[in-house]
Amino acid sequence: MTAWNLNVRLGRLGALTILACLATALAAASAPAKPTPATAATAATLQKDLDRFVALGLPGAILFTRDGNTSMRLASGLGDLGRKTPMKADDHYKIASLTKTYTAAVVLQLVAEGKLRLTDSIERWVPGLVPNGRKITIRQLLNHTSGLAEFDTDPRYLKPYLSGDLGFYWAPRKLVQMGVSHPPLFPPGVTRHTHYANTNYVLLGLAVEAATGHSIGAELRKRIFQPLHLDETSYRIKPGLPSPYAHGYLVLGKPPAMDVSGISPSLSPASGAIVSTAEDVADFYRALLSGHVVRLDLLRAMKTTIVEGKPVDIVGQRYGLGLELFPTSCGDALGHNGVVPGYITYAFSSGDGSRQAVLMVNLDSGSFPRAAGPKFFRLLDKAFCSRR
C-alpha cells in the first residue's frame, strides 16, 4: 500500500516510490472482468517462485497459503543477514498496517455492545484534541473519509530517528497533534474517495481506551488474540520482537542494508504496532471473514468499500471499515497491506476466508530492487489464485 530514505515519510510512503514500476503488472493482474479458473500450483512450484523472487536481491520472504483445510508454509532467504540465519515460515515480524483491521474489529465489537456508535463524534470520546472533531465520526475514521492529514509527513515526526534514536517513544496524542496541526484535505464525510491516514487509527485507539477504560493493547488481547488463540500475536509498546523473528532491513543510499528491527512501534500505535506470524495473520482474517469476530451486519459494513484516493498500490483497490478490497486475476480479495521500515506484508483472503495468501518480505519496499516490485504482486496473485 510503497531508494527508501529517512528524509521521506515512514509508513506507507515506501510503497509509493515503487508504484510506477508496479502499475503495469498490477493492471495485468486485475484485468479479467470476471473470476477465471485458477491453475494448479504445487508447493514445489511456489517454493521455486519464492526462491527466484528472493534471489532478485532480497534478504528473505515468507509465503503462507491456505485453500480450505490445505495450508502451505514456505520461506526463503535469510531472516538475519548478520548471522546468516535462514528465514523460517513461523518467524515473527511487524505486520504494520494490517493492525488497522484488528483495531477496526475491536471498535465494531464495542459498537455491537452499545459502548460506541459509528455515528459518534471523535470529540465525544477524545475531547479537545481534533479541530472540528464534532463533525468527524467513528465511521469516517474507520474508512478514512475524515479528511484528516497524516502525521508522518510532519518533519517533527522523523527528527528523533534522524538523530539516531530508533527507540524513541511517540505518545499517541502527540502523533495526533502533529496530524491535526496541518489543514484537513477535505471536509469530513466526503465519500467520493478516501484519504488513507494513520492519524485516523491512532484516534480510534484513543477512543477505544476512553470507551473501555483499558489500553488498546489490552482490548486487542482480550477480544481478538486470546479468543482466536492467536498465541504468536502481540501488540507492541516497546522496541523488540519475540523470538524467533525476522530482522527487518532498509538500504540508506547504497548497500549494505541496515537492520531497523529495533525501531519503536510507537511510530504507528493502533495503526501498525502488532507483531505476528503469517499463519496467525491468516487465522485472524479467516475468523473475521467467516463471521466469528464481529456481528454479521457490521462485517457487511466492513466490506462496504470506497475507492481509495491517489496514490494506490493496486489499480482498483477500495477501502472499507478497516478492510481493503484488492482486484486479482481470480476475483476480488479482502484483507490489508502493511509497510513499516524493514517490512512489507500483504494479506489476501476470499470473501468467506476459505482461500488465503500472506506474503512478507523483510526489506523496506522502497529498498526493493526494481525488478522485485512487479514480481512481488505476481507471486502474491499466483499464490492466492492457485487451487490445491
For 13, 137, 215, 364, the CA distances from 169, given in Å and listed in that order, are: 21, 28, 16, 21
pLDDT in tens, the chain (388 residues): 332 233 333 334 334 333 333 333 433 344 333 433 345 558 999 999 999 999 999 999 999 999 999 999 999 999 999 999 999 999 999 999 999 999 999 999 999 999 999 999 999 999 999 999 999 999 999 999 999 999 988 999 988 987 889 999 999 999 999 999 999 999 999 888 899 999 999 999 999 999 999 999 999 999 999 999 999 999 999 999 999 999 999 998 888 999 999 999 999 999 999 999 999 999 999 999 999 999 999 999 999 999 988 777 788 999 999 999 999 999 999 999 999 999 999 999 999 999 999 999 999 988 999 899 999 999 999 999 987 6
Q: What's the pLDDT score for residue 40? A: 53
For 67, 73, 74, the CA distances from 70, given in Å and listed in that order, are: 5, 10, 13
- DSSP assignment string, 78-97: EEETTTTEEP-TT-BEE-GG
Count of Cβ atoms closer than 10 Å to residue 65 Cβ: 26
Tell me which residue of 31, 72, 36, 33 sits closest to 355, measured CA to CA.
72
- pLDDT by residue (tens digit) across 257-278? 999 999 999 999 999 999 999 9
Please give the angle made by the CA atoms of 248, 349 and 318, to the nearest 5 degrees: 85
- pLDDT by residue (tens digit) across 114-172? 999 999 999 999 999 999 999 999 999 999 999 999 998 899 998 898 788 999 999 99
Q: What's the pLDDT score for residue 23? A: 36
Q: Which cell numbers in the block locate residue 155?
A: 518533519
Say if residues 6 and 161 touch (Cβ distance below 8 Å). Answer: yes
Q: What is the pTM of this model?
A: 0.91
Dihedral of CA 241/242/243/244: which sign? negative
Contacts with 381 (C-beta within 8 Å, 6 or more apart), sequence order: 29, 328, 329
Domain boundaries, the chain: 13-385
At what angle are helices 198-212 and 99-112 packed, to 10 degrees?
Answer: 40
At what angle are helices 99-112 and 296-303 packed, to 10 degrees?
Answer: 140
Q: What's the pLDDT score for residue 146? A: 97
Give 37's DSSP letter.
P
Tell me which residue of 262, 255, 344, 257 sits closest to 59, measured CA to CA.
257
Q: What's the pLDDT score for residue 193? A: 82
Can you tell me the distance from the alpha carbon of 99 to that of 278, in angstroms, rounded to the nearest whole number?
Answer: 13
Can you tell me the distance from the alpha carbon of 246 to that of 188, in angstroms, rounded to the nearest whole number?
Answer: 39
Superfamily of domain 13-385: DD-peptidase/beta-lactamase superfamily (3.40.710.10)
